[in-house]
Amino acid sequence: MRRIISILMENEAGALSRIVGLFSQRGYNIDSLTVAPTDDETLSRLTLTTAGDEGTIEQITKQLNKLVEVVKLVDLTEGAHLERELMLIKLKASGAQRAEIKRTVDIFRGQIVDVSMSMYTVQLAGTSSKLDAFIEAVGDVSILELSRTGVTGIGRGEKILSL
């Protein structure tokens, strides 16, 4: 099962490599990973998506919690949560294709952020599955380049991940 794990960790050199190393060392998968500082400059927030059965996920969270630099973590998928991913995608757009792609971008509520004679660069935010759906809709043939940020997320409502 797909999980989104959000981690508050000490903003120190080496902390990220410990987390990533843990996954490769113990044979867990990371499907996506985003990391950036938070409003508290001593902390970074790392969000990763992974998959596994319940036992594996339990081990992953326990092992992560053992890392000295991990201050707090939450499995967002355990409760109601918001998840977003940002994608920049360069699409071939010439002739009749141009209007069709524009329509698709509008349907997905994306934005065209760069234009040339033969291509559009589209910015699209949403859940990973929405991004997947857009990619499917425009079709492989028109994709020139694609860059996704990986998932970031936050719990819904009053639940707060902080110290």
Q: Which is nearer to other proteins, 60 or 76 (CB)?
A: 60
Q: What is the SS3 assignment for 13?
A: coil
Rounded Cα distance, 46 and 2, in Å = 17
- Least distance from other proteins to the Cβ atom of residue 66, Å: 6
Q: Is 58 in the site for other proteins (CB under 8 A)?
A: yes
Q: Is 65 in the site for other proteins (CB under 8 A)?
A: yes
Q: What is the SS3 assignment for 64?
A: helix
Q: Is 18 in the site for other proteins (CB under 8 A)?
A: yes
| Beta strands 119-126; 111-115: pairing state | antiparallel
| Beta strands 32-37; 43-51: pairing state | antiparallel
Q: Is 163 in the site for other proteins (CB under 8 A)?
A: yes
Rounded Cα distance, 155 and 153, in Å = 7
Return the residue of 5, 70, 76, 91 that touches other proteins, per CB under 8 A: 70
CB atoms within 10 A of CB 106: 11
- Least distance from other proteins to the Cβ atom of residue 55, Å: 7
95 backbone dihedrals φ, ψ, rounded to 5°: 60, -135
Return the residue of 27, 55, 95, 157 that touches other proteins, per CB under 8 A: 55
- Least distance from other proteins to the Cβ atom of residue 71, Å: 4
Amino acid letter, residue 43: L
Q: Is 160 in the site for other proteins (CB under 8 A)?
A: no
Q: Is 25 in the site for other proteins (CB under 8 A)?
A: yes
Span from 15-23, 82-90, 143-151, 153-161 in contact with other proteins (CB under 8 A): 15-23
Amino acid letter, residue 53: D
Q: Which of 49, 35, 38 is nearest to 5 (CA)?
A: 49
Q: Which residues bind other proteins (CB under 8 A)?
A: 9-10, 13-14, 17-18, 21, 25, 55, 58-59, 62-63, 65-66, 68-71, 163
